Structure 1
């Protein structure tokens, strides 16, 4: 019997500030080994690895073995879902702020 692994929700994956920091660190590099990423945190290697697993389950990170070392790379494609969600609310707030501006202008007259 073959197991089908369900993909982790991208919003869940980026909810933690440590994982957002990992995304940022990986965005600045082509790829990075675990020890290099761990050096940027006060937590240990195991904790950083667990955060990377969550990012990997959401499709945000890929990894490859190079000898005894694992190198991680950002896959930004799943962030498109977040961008689309934010874009809707950006439009919502722009419209609301324009209406507020008009109301304030009318109130001043």
Structure 2
């Protein structure tokens, strides 16, 4: 991985996941499936209004989606943005592994031949 990547939502996903309440909301949605903000708030020490605000951030990052059913909005996890972020992080890790392997080879070569010749 060299150079800059075009904006693909990874920054939004990482920013959304930086908050522990939002991570917990994703966990609850993964466990419970499609549920309302009221149901989610019952499992958290925050108000329903706070849950709705957190869900809006998760929605903007592409991590959840809401669909109106009568008077309720039911939310569910969307995996596409999370999968793209996981792929980006895996590629970044592989790039750093490659770079560190080069540093290791250079250091080992210098250790074997301290005079450089």
Give the TM-score of the pair, scaled to structure 1.
0.72
Counterpart of 2:79 in structure 1 is 76
1:12 aligns with 2:45: no
For structure 2, the 5+ residue unaligned runs are 1-8, 109-117
Compute the TM-score of the two structures, normalised by the length of structure 2: 0.67
What CA distance in whole angstroms lies between the structure 2 residues aligned with 1:39 and 1:93?
A: 42
Aligned residue number for residue 21 of structure 1: 24
Q: CA deviation at 1:38?
A: 0.3
Based on CA coordinates, which of the two structures has the bigger radius of gyration?
A: 2
Cα deviation for residue 13 of structure 1 reads 1.3
**Matches of 1:48 and 1:67 in 2, distance apart?**
20
Match of 1:49 in 2: 52
Shift >4 Å, 4+ stretches: 92-97
Q: CA RMSD in A?
A: 2.8
- How far residue 48 of structure 1 moved from its aligned partner, in angstroms, is 0.7
Displacement of 1:46:
0.7
Query: How does 1:54-65 map onto structure 2 within 5 Å?
Result: 54-65=57-68
User: How far did 1:76 drift?
Assistant: 0.9
Q: Which runs of 5+ in 1 are unaligned?
A: 1-6, 104-109
